[in-house]
Structure 1
Amino acid sequence: MELSEIKHGEAIIDLLLEPKTYVSFIKFQEVLHISRRTFFYTLKKLNAYLDEHDLDMVQNMKGIGYYLPDDTKQVLVQQTKKNTPKLAVFPQKERHILIMLSLINNERVSLELTQKRFHITHHTAVSDLKMTKQLARKYHLAIESKPTGTTITGTERNQRNWFLSALSDHGALINSVLEIDPHQALKITELLHNLEALTGNYFSDDALSILITFFSWYLNRLTDPDKQLQPSNSDAINPTATIEKWAGTVLSKYHIQNIAEQLFITYLVKSGQFIHINTNDTLAHSMTPIVKQIIKRFNDVSGSQIAVDSLELPLLTHLLSTYYRVKYRVTFKQASLKSIQEQYSELIFFTRLALKPFENFVQQKLPEEEITLVAIYFGGVLRNESTNDATVNVVCSSGIGTSKILYEELHRRYPNIKFSSPMSVFKLKNSQLTNIKLIISTIQLKSSFKLPTIVVAPIPTESQWQQIDQELAHLKIIKRSTQAITVNNLMDIISDYTRIVDPTGLQNALTNLLAHDHNISTTPTNTNIGLKSLLPKENILIQDSAFPNWENAIRYAFNPLVANSSITEKYVDKIISSTQKYGPYMVIGNGVMLAHARPADGVKKIGMSLLVLGEPLTMYDANTHEDKLVKVIIGLAPIDAAEHVLALSQLVKMLQQPHWLSDIENATNSTMIYEKCFNITIK
């Protein structure tokens, strides 16, 4: 077999023969436009060709790239008949990185050399140098153009920070142009593995790859005394500390004794990203309760229900390196984080609020990049938790009140369908929607989820039930109503043969029968706090005179809960602002408004209040272009997403009884409401 007979073979060899040590797979892919499968297939043929000619095969340094052994390279160079080398083409951003790298490495840079190096026009070279100057300023570095060439000025620490950041974002590019000695890289890899064994903290693959390249560059750089950091009077080494001793050993192998550099290496490896940590470490032990606080705060402010156990160790592992990066001012910049910040602004906002205990611990405000990195963890858990076999998502603004009532109703009516647990809009945005076919929401969703969406009342009207039926049948989630055994079908059949005295009671009985038949619990809860416990007599109000507006009525309804310190005024403000934003979605039907917000909006303890309006008020619904009538306002103050579920379930049952609202409306005092209604209904 000849080399020319191997498709892409000569092109791969050409890249490996270029004056650089390593070539990454990404570089092969960009230049040759081939798939991973094609690359490895070609590489297998190339190695067979080299072995057939008694030459050492192509080698792979994990995390860095591919290279040819020196002997093989020399033989292939002699065999090469090409007169001109293949021209490398670099995109604009890559040119800026390479120009910066040349300047930091003290290589000569000028307009003329930049034109020749990248085969670009004079105008493009001028533009590249201008953009590179802007890039340098982000790292507190300055680029100066002089007749003799272009130079970079700035502290050695800032130059190293740029190199570290560039490795995070453009590692493959930098590895392709740096002349790294493979033997030195192997020696550094061994030293880093020794450190992992000593500390019990193990680096992620990406972190290890970055450290190998950085140390290869850094240790060569230290051969120039001008590049070494100057020790200060405050620099001090703990001779018994494991990492400080290891750092001294690394430097001694290169005949360097410098306390400032020993501390720099210590800070560097401590701030590297870990995949596993020693939880018995003193710092890790002290940070564990802080991590638990962070997860709890995130749940509170976002309305999520992330289990502490599911995130505690991964978040602790990440924040351990974050602590050292912040403490030692090791800058983490990554261009890819900007798109995350733009796309998930709400997630990052909640993460920022949740991280306050950690900021207090490190006594510093975290940079946006660090907050974004933590947000990725929360977003990942939310997506994993949303991975289930549900086909329909149930949504409201908070995932606490109205959607739970709707969830109960949907479960009772469609026992065969798998609905998601009630979720907030925020959780919906951060959920996987792979298996979801339909979204049923109590509020109008402003974001487009590219899925059919139905907006209904928490207790849907008959026309809304028909809309849900039609959409479920259209999406083939259920069979057509003429083919399926449903509550409505059974009601129709029964009405053909007998007069139904109590339609509501029969409908509830049939619904419960079907739900029981399919072993589906309509009230999945582990709490026994019922409506009677949450709604004492002193929390029941009657107002005969009319309120000037609905905002005043809501404030009045929550007066008992404010007075007994169950909530703050901020909680009521949030309910009003949510209603102004989303409309009267809390009006759950039959003239009842279930006013509520998230626990984090100002709930101190669980509670409920009830206001009967002598003069009903109206709230305009922009979605239906109709006024919604409100006769009763029920104020709910939940402390989490589960504690009040039994009370809500009992409330739904009461609302379904025809006499309940009429009894409430005809009552003249709170005692009548309490005794006449609750004592009868709640057992």
Structure 2
Amino acid sequence: MLNRKTQELLNYLSDSPGYVTLEELMQHFNISRRTVFNRLKEINSYLLDNGFEEITNTPRLGYHLKSLPNSHGLKEHQKFDKLTKKERISKELWELVDGKIISINKLALEYNCTRNTIISDFKVIQSENPTLKLTNTNKGKFLISNEKEIRKIVLKYIQLKDPIIMAELQKLKYDKDYKIVVRLLAKKLNVILTEKTINHIANYMKFMTYRVTNGKVVKSVDRRLASLGLKDFLPISKDTLDKIFPNIEFLDGEAELLGEIIASSQALNIDVSDDSLDTQFENLSREIIFRFIQVTTSPINMNPILLKMLKNHLYSTYFRTKLDFPFYSSEIERIRTKYSEIIKYTKVACRPLEKFLGKKLPDSEIALISLYLGAINYSDSFLEKPSEKLKNALASDVLIVCSSGIGTSAILHNELAASYPTIHFSPPLEIRELYKIRDLHGALNAKLILTTTPINSNDFSLPVRQINAILSKKDKGIVSDALNTYVTRLYQMSETTTGIADIMDVISSYADIKDYSALKDALTSMISPESNNKVDNSKQLRIVDLMSQNDIIFSKESTIQRVIEEGTSVLERKGVVTKDYLSEINRLISQYGNYMHLSNGVFLAHAEPQDGVLKTGLSLVISKKGIPLSDGSVVKLVFVLAPGTSEEHSKALSEIVSIARSKEKVQAIVDIGDRNEIYQYLYFNI
């Protein structure tokens, strides 16, 4: 890429209609004759590299640029100057997957940036897509990844709703309605897909058609679907593609990839031929929910519908893991940020699933499962039977349409219901359910539709507002304005509650709130004293608040039962628990196994507050040599927790989980060897 001063000289020549003399260049740029010659030499080399003619030097006339880069290249691409870095990188990626040879110099000229900027772009592309393979030719970079990897990369950016990639796909014009194709295919496969998933696969099929009709066909077949209990996926997908491409042979690879994409997608229901797998996932769902209940000490209704939904979700997780289809979503980062505490507990709850899969779950999968577990803590309204769901929707003030799956839908519903408690929000609806309500019951009670997916507002007599499932500040503003406009009476009844929530959001952005509930009650009292119910919000206690140095002991016992007995004895002597508490812990372990083993050698022994807890307390038993468990794992730290009825122990619980997630922290505590120093370590480092 030319430096700035040389680029300015090129621009001057390009903008000049006729010849420019040497003296004019020297005077205009205030440079010497030699400097002009050097810059002209650089420019000619640059022009030749990028396919333009050199500058001509005509005696007694001067220098002239016959093929003007500004009209032929620079001005044609001025629109790219305003692209963000992310948009520019997506544009470059699309050119690669579209089979173009990319010259770094030409791209720098096209985007009016430096050569180093483009080189940096390619580093980002390869770091974000490690399976992508590029080669260098004398004309530039060229993509040599196999066709299946190219498809998976494009599918990733479809799932991320990348605006540049989506805009390029919209340019591909085909007569076929791929949404209908996907729905019919899913029906034949006995799979119920979310609307969002249908859109993703439809866009993928549009790209697939573009590639296949241009001779780019996926040919490799490894028959993995049948081995995973999906024996009908390949033949049914092949039959669908044979009808789309009647004159193209050897579509087995395409059919298998399409089947893998459907199996790995977010589905509301999926049938497999392996009954044993179905039983395993039902048992895993129960164990995950049970572990989540135990580690959070908060009750969850073991609803059979919830179990079925989580089981169906685990199928998607299983197929994505086995087929190597990572889950991508533009909402994942917001989920991680907004529900970090729930995700932390979900990681612990999902250890049985990781053991079953034989590998650690990616953070994106943990985040998805956390939506099911976290959302259920607040409301079971979305678990209603279809008939009850429609009845509830008919009586609602606001209809919620969410095609992002059950977990995300529940999170959205619960956040709206908590922010506006006097407004009746419908259970999250699929688009087809919304149309069914309209068709069967023309007159709706609702005043507004909030949707996470585009719908045709002309099809409804109600105003429609589109938002994200994980609400951003912008989304909250859209919701607030819409409620204020269309549901005024009800909205005004919620103004105080909503105002407090908004204030809390602002404070949370700039400060670390140590006691969220107490601050919220204080604001409520200040803003609306008459609505303040005096609730005793106990201080959230840390590990070091719940125990002293004397509650830390070193054990030489070799069984987990004896070590727990030592830890419980400490609490019993302090008057924290009764003798019944140890018996209940042992009963739970006997009934459910070693579910209290969190991770990395950390064991959290506890029962319910009503099982012999007199007050909140904690003890820590350390085993340097380790205590073997029946599953082969080894425990080195045993926390015995006496939980409080007001959840004042939740901060300490969070700290214990953070220890369990770090092998380094566990080993550091074991290695210290002195209870006073261990207490100081817990105080300053956890």
TM-score, length-scaled by structure 1 = 0.47
Q: Which has the larger radius of gyration?
A: 1
TM-score, length-scaled by structure 2 = 0.47
